[in-house]
Chains A and B, each alone.
Chain A
C-alpha cells in the first residue's frame, strides 16, 4: 500500500528562461509563474511527487539555449523542459528536444505556423492574439497601419499576417520597420510616424526596444501623434512591462492578450494573491507568468493522471485535463498541442494595469496555421472597407 507512504517520487524538470538580457523582464515573469506552480505542486498534498527543477538562464544568448537544453536532457535525466520566450530560442531547442524525445512546455504567445509533437504550447496562437486585435483596431481606428518591430520571426510573421488582413480590408501598411533585438535607436521612427499619420501603430518590438519606443512616443506626443491620438497596439504588452516603461509613458496603449491581471475571476484573484505573497506585495502578474504557471500545473496534473512521466502517456493524459486557470478554463487541443484560451483586449493605464475593453465569451480553439481563418470573411465581418475618415473617437470600457 502506498497511501501512507511518506516517500514522494521526484520528477526532474528543466526550466530555461532568460532572466537577464534584453528581454529579461519577461523571462523573470515566466520564471516566477513557473516557480509559483512548482512550489504549489511540491508543497501540496494532492500530487504525491516533487518536481526537481534545474534553473537555467541563457541571458538572451541564442546559442546558450541549445547548450542548456542538451545539458539537462543528457545529464539530468530530464524529460520535460519548461522554457523559451522568443521563437528563435524555441526553434533553437526543438531539434534537441525531438532528438531526445522529450517534451517542451512552451509558455508564450507566438506567431504560429508550427505544431511539433514534442511541444505543448500554452501561450496564444495568432487566431487568439493578432486576429482579435485587428478585428478591433481596423474597425474602430482605421485601416492605415504603421508597423514597427524587432528584427526576427515574431515581428516578420505577425506583420505578414497583418499585411494580408489589412489589404483584404482595403487598407494599407504605410511602413514596416525593424530594429535589431535590444536596439533603442528609434527616434527616426517617431519622425516618420508624425509624417505619415497612420490610423494606428502595430508594435512587435520586444523588451528594451519596445519600452524605449513607448517612452519616446509618449515624449513626442503633440496635437498629431501620441497615445491619445494614434494608439500603439501590441500582442505582447504586459503589466510588468508597463512598470518598466514608467507611469508617464505607459498609458493609453492597446494590448491583445489571453490574460490581464484585471480579469475578475476567483481563480485569478487567488493567483494574484499567491503571486504577491511569494514575490512581493508590489509585484504584478502577466500573461507570461500565467502561461508558465498553467504549463506547470498541466504537466503536474498529467503526471498525476498518467502515473508516468513518459511523453506519450503525458500527452494522452494532458489532452483530458480541464483546468480553471487564472484566465478561465484552459485545455490542450489534441489536434495541434496548442491550448484553448480566451482572447481579450485591454487599454493600458498609467498605474500599470489594463482596462479590459473586450473579452471573448468562450475559450477559442487554437488555429496555429490559420487554417480556419478566412481573410475575406473577416473583411466582410468587420464591415470594411469603411467610408473615408469616419472614425470613432475614444475607447470605451465595457463590462466583461
Chain B
C-alpha cells in the first residue's frame, strides 16, 4: 500500500453519541480535519446512507441502533469507550469496530483513529472478498478436477492445457469455471481444444497447443 497523507476532507461522519463534552471534542476534531459531521442521539435502525464512518458510544449502544446485523456495518465503526465493563466491551466487539477512542476525549486521537479505521475496514473488505472466492473455489474444486480429467483423456492433453481450455470457454460463455466444469461433466460441452468446434479425428497435440 502506498503511503498517502491521510486526508479526510469531505468525508461524512455520523456520530451516534449524546451531545456532551466528549461528543463536542470529537466533533471539533472532525471539523478541523474538514470532515462533514452529523450527530444523532437518540437513534434507532439507522441505515447510514451516504455515511463514510461511524462514531459509536459504546457505553449506550444497543443492537437496534442499526438496520444491519452485528458485524455487517456498511462503513467503518469507531467505538468510543468509556466503561470498561466486560459486557460493554463484548457488545462493542460484536459490532467489529475498525478503531476505538477512549474517553475522556481530549484534543488528539481522532486523526489516528480515522486513519486506522479506514485502513482496517478496507483490509477487512478485501479479506472477506478473498475468503469468498477461496470458499467458492474449494467448493467446486472436485467438480473442476473431474471436468479437467475428462478433457485430458478426450484430447490427450495435460492438466495445464485442460484448465486453459476451460478458462477460455468460461470467458467466451461468460460463465464461472465451476459452471463450465459442470457442463463438461454433464456431457453438455464436448467441443475440442481449438474452441467450440467438435474435435476432428486424429487431431494432433501440436494443433491443440497452437490454439492455446
Interface, chain A (partner B; CB < 8 A): 98, 113-118, 160-161, 163-164, 335-336, 369-373, 375
Contact = CB atoms under 8 A, between A and B. Distances in A.
Nearest to B7: A371
Nearest to A160: B3
A114 B29 CA distance: 10
27 contacts: A98-B107, A113-B111, A114-B108, A116-B106, A116-B107, A116-B108, A117-B106, A117-B107, A164-B3, A164-B4, A164-B5, A335-B31, A335-B32, A336-B32, A369-B7, A369-B32, A369-B33, A370-B5, A370-B7, A371-B7, A371-B8, A371-B9, A371-B32, A371-B33, A372-B9, A372-B34, A373-B7
Nearest to A167: B2
Interface residue SS majority, chain A: loop
Contacts of B33: 369, 371
A164 B7 CA distance: 13
B81 to A, nearest CB: 19
A336 B30 CA distance: 11
Of A98, A116, A371, which is in contact with the most chain B CB atoms at under 10 Å from its CB?
A: A371
B106 A375 contact: no
Of B3, B31, B33, B108, which is in contact with the most chain A CB atoms at under 10 Å from its CB?
A: B108
Contacts of B31: 335
A118 B106 CA distance: 10
Interface in B150-198: none
A161 B4 CA distance: 9
Of B3, B7, B8, which is in contact with the most chain A CB atoms at under 10 Å from its CB?
A: B7
Interface string B30-61: 01111000000000000000000000000000
A98 B106 contact: yes
Contact of A369 (B4, B106, B111): B111
A336 B33 CA distance: 10
B135 to A, nearest CB: 38
A397 to B, nearest CB: 33
A371 B33 CA distance: 6
Interface string B107-119: 1100100000000
Contacts of B8: 371
A108 B23 CA distance: 31
Nearest to A335: B32
Given A369-B33, A371-B34, A118 B107 contact: yes
Nearest to B29: A115
B25 to A, nearest CB: 8
Contacts of A114: 108
A368 to B, nearest CB: 8
B10 to A, nearest CB: 10
A357 B99 CA distance: 46
A160 B6 CA distance: 12
Contacts of A369: 7, 32-33, 111
A115 B9 contact: no
B139 to A, nearest CB: 42
Given A371-B7, A372-B9, A115 B32 contact: yes
A384 to B, nearest CB: 18
A161 B107 contact: no
Contacts of A336: 32
A26 B110 CA distance: 33
Of B5, B9, B32, B108, which is in contact with the most chain A CB atoms at under 10 Å from its CB?
A: B5
A120 to B, nearest CB: 12
A211 B149 CA distance: 74
A375 B5 contact: yes
Contacts of A373: 5, 7
B103 to A, nearest CB: 15
B201 to A, nearest CB: 60
A335 B29 CA distance: 9
A306 B33 CA distance: 29
A46 B111 CA distance: 42
Contacts of B108: 114-116
Contacts of A160: 3, 5
A372 B29 CA distance: 15
B5 A115 contact: no
Nearest to A165: B5
A8 to B, nearest CB: 33
